[in-house]
Structure 1
Amino acid sequence: MQSPGASDPELVGRFSVLLEQLVRRLRTVYAAGQISQSAASTLARLRDEGPLRITDLAHAEGVSQPAMTQLVARLEGEGLLARRVPEGDRRSVLVDVSAAGRDVLEARRAQRVEFLQDLLAGLDRSDWAAIAAALPALERLVASEPNSSRQSAHRKEP
């Protein structure tokens, strides 16, 4: 069953533009660790999903295996992730976020929270209440999978 708003292209378009603008503004805040958005996304995926093979990580992040291998090597060199050989399978290698990588992600999140607090402080009570009331629906939206065959590759923000 499709929700009433999903069939309103104008509403969906406004929502899309709003999300793009908010993401663009948030990206200006990402100073902690001086890492790229793709590096942060990769670290966040490993933090959230646990250790992965480079091939699986590349697929999940929507990049080529050689590109992910290069990114993993750089992040490993910076101490933000580590490789390990899983027990019982010496042929494969897993990568996982390190404690330093977790610290960078937490610092980035703290910066975004501070930025958003400053933005929200400029709103009146009714706007803040509307945003607070929308949070559960937005959480369900983020957790859902698209129903459409037009589904494009999607990536998780850190």
Structure 2
Amino acid sequence: MEKELIQLAKELNQIEYETNVMLTEEFSTLLDETLTTKQALFLSLLQSHGPLQTFELAKLMGTSASAVSQLVGRLEQEGFIKRSISKKDRREIIIELDTRGHDYFQKQEEIELAIINKYYSQLPKGDLLQLKEIFMKLHAIVSNAQKNSD
């Protein structure tokens, strides 16, 4: 691999990292810092997929049902999620976002809009479209490589 490519990739990664650190510091007062990365991922899955059963969440997270059950217990206790019995099959437990979980995503949306209004709005639309296209290409490369390694 050529040295110039390695250096360029490292510089891009460093710029992205430093930008994210600055944004995180600026908006940290709005963030819920009590959540771990796994808990945030768990909530994101519920947000994007809607109510799910424990085994479905375990499959999506690539972990065991018992690990999911531990997450459920803590997040339920803190008001992020709630459990209910399925109306179709009373043996099934459905997990969905609760009030604090919905509030978490409302805050995320507010932060995202603030970043867009304050920073992204200063870039020309053509630059944003080009950046999107580049990220989509990189995403496709990584996605295809991971699919082929399975």
Q: Against the structure 1 CA distance between its residues 141 and 84, is the aligned structure 2 distance closer, same or farther, given a 3 Å change threshold?
A: farther
Find the counterpart in structure 2 of residue 107 from structure 1.
Answer: 107
Q: Against the structure 1 CA distance between its residues 151 and 25, is the aligned structure 2 distance closer, same or farther, given a 3 Å change threshold?
A: farther
Give, in whole Å, the separation in 1 of the partners of 2:69 and 2:79.
15
Q: How does 1:1-158 map to 2 (within 5 A)?
A: 13=9, 17=13, 28=25, 29=27, 31-36=30-35, 37-115=37-115, 117-120=117-120, 127-134=123-130, 136-137=132-133, 146-149=143-146
Q: Against the structure 1 CA distance between its residues 140 and 149, is the aligned structure 2 distance closer, same or farther, given a 3 Å change threshold?
A: closer
Query: For residue 137 of structure 1, what is the amino acid of its counterpart?
Result: E
Report the Cα offset of residue 32 of structure 1.
Answer: 2.8
User: When the two structures are superposed, what TM-score results if normalisation uses the length of structure 2?
Assistant: 0.66
Report the Cα offset of residue 143 of structure 1.
Answer: 8.4
User: When the two structures are superposed, what TM-score results if normalisation uses the length of structure 1?
Assistant: 0.63
Uncovered stretches (5+) of structure 1, i.e. residues with no partner? 1-8, 154-158
Uncovered stretches (5+) of structure 2, i.e. residues with no partner? none
% of aligned pairs identical?
Answer: 21
**Contact 1:26–1:112 at 8 Å: present in 2 too?**
no
Give, in whole Å, the separation in 1 of the partners of 2:117 and 2:91.
47
After superposition, the C-alpha distances for 1:66-94 in whole angstroms (9 at most, x for unaligned) are 22211111111111111112122122211
Partner of 1:34, secondary structure, is coil
Q: Against the structure 1 CA distance between its residues 93 and 21, is the aligned structure 2 distance closer, same or farther, given a 3 Å change threshold?
A: farther
How many residue pairs get matched?
Answer: 141
Give, in whole Å, the separation in 1 of the partners of 2:54 and 2:42.
11
Higher RCO structure, 1 or 2 (CA under 8 Å, sep 6+): 1
Report the Cα offset of residue 149 of structure 1.
Answer: 4.8
Give, in whole Å, the separation in 1 of the partners of 2:146 and 2:32.
37
Find the counterpart in structure 2 of residue 5 from structure 1.
Answer: none
Report the Cα offset of residue 109 of structure 1.
Answer: 3.2
Q: Against the structure 1 CA distance between its residues 13 and 142, is the aligned structure 2 distance closer, same or farther, given a 3 Å change threshold?
A: closer
Give, in whole Å, the separation in 1 of the partners of 2:54 and 2:12.
31
Structure with the higher fraction of residues in helix conformation: 2
